[in-house]
């Protein structure tokens, strides 16, 4: 079921909490899925939730993937981005700009590998604040989906600027991928998931 939905000036974003069985999700979708051959039961639930969100927000449930893995709607000018974590699936759609989204369950697991995706300046800025470090990871994942570039050095090319943590808000990320640019991202923190999304005109 949809547990979060919001319209912004340029996009719409929603989160599905998977509490249903596979049979129930299939019934809700009400149509067959092409090439539905996933052996993993969890992945099948995620795929069904993706289709349900897409149908709810765009009126259609089928999409394709580019060679890079980026999801696209064929013969449509709508941009889409998915993310999933434990029993949650997020989707953002926009007709006017490129979009990216990332959703993660609250955990300090990223703190153990922060050197892989945070610069020394970011590590000093965020210290050992697990919430800010997780949001920084989400931000870089969401931007990675928008930039659609094969190889990005998260620690060197994407720099999350200092921000004050709140239940929801915005922060800035400086990108040095292809050209230097500042991106503004939005976030929401709940007890069950952290959600970050970005809208960009390229």
Quick: pLDDT tens for 128-178. 999 999 999 999 999 999 987 878 999 999 999 999 999 999 999 999 997
The confidence score (pLDDT) of residue 202 equals: 55
The confidence score (pLDDT) of residue 32 equals: 76
Please give the CATH superfamily to which domain 2-96 belongs. 4'-phosphopantetheinyl transferase domain (3.90.470.20)
CA–CA separation, 24 vs 57, rounded Å? 19
Question: Is pLDDT at 75 greater than 90 in this prediction?
Answer: no
Partners of residue 171 on adjacent β-strands: 185
Q: Where exactly are the structural domains of the chain?
A: 2-96, 103-200
The confidence score (pLDDT) of residue 68 equals: 79
State the burial class of residue 1 (Cβ atoms within 10 Å of its Cβ: 0-12, 13-18, 19+). Answer: exposed
Partners of residue 170 on adjacent β-strands: 186
Q: Are 103 and 194 in contact (CB under 8 A)?
A: yes
Pick the CATH number of 103-200 from 3.90.470, 2.60.40, 3.40.50, 3.30.420: 3.90.470
If you average pLDDT over residues 8-12, what whole number do you get? 95
As a whole-number percent, the residues of the chain with pLDDT over 90 amount to: 81
């Amino acid at each position: 079921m949809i547990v979060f939905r919001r319209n912004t000036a340029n996009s719409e974003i929603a989160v599905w909490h998977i509490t249903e069985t596979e049979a129930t999700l299939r019934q809700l979708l009400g149509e067959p899925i092409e090439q539905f051959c996933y052996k993993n039961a969890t992945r099948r639930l995620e795929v069904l939730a993706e289709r349900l969100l897409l149908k709810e927000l765009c009126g259609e449930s089928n999409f394709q993937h580019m060679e890079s893995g980026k999801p696209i709607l064929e013969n449509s000018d709508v941009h889409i981005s998915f993310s999933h974590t434990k029993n949650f699936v997020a989707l953002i759609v926009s007709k006017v700009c490129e979009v990216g989204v990332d959703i993660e369950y609250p955990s300090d697991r990223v703190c153990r590998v922060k050197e892989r995706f945070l610069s020394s300046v970011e590590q000093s800025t965020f210290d050992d604040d697990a919430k800010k470090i997780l949001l920084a990871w989400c931000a870089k994942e969401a931007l990675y989906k928008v930039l659609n570039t094969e190889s990005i050095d998260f620690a060197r090319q994407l720099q999350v600027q200092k921000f004050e943590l709140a239940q929801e808000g915005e922060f800035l990320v400086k990108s040095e991928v292809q050209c230097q640019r500042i991106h503004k991202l939005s976030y929401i923190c709940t007890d069950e998931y952290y959600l970050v999304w970005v809208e960009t005109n390229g």
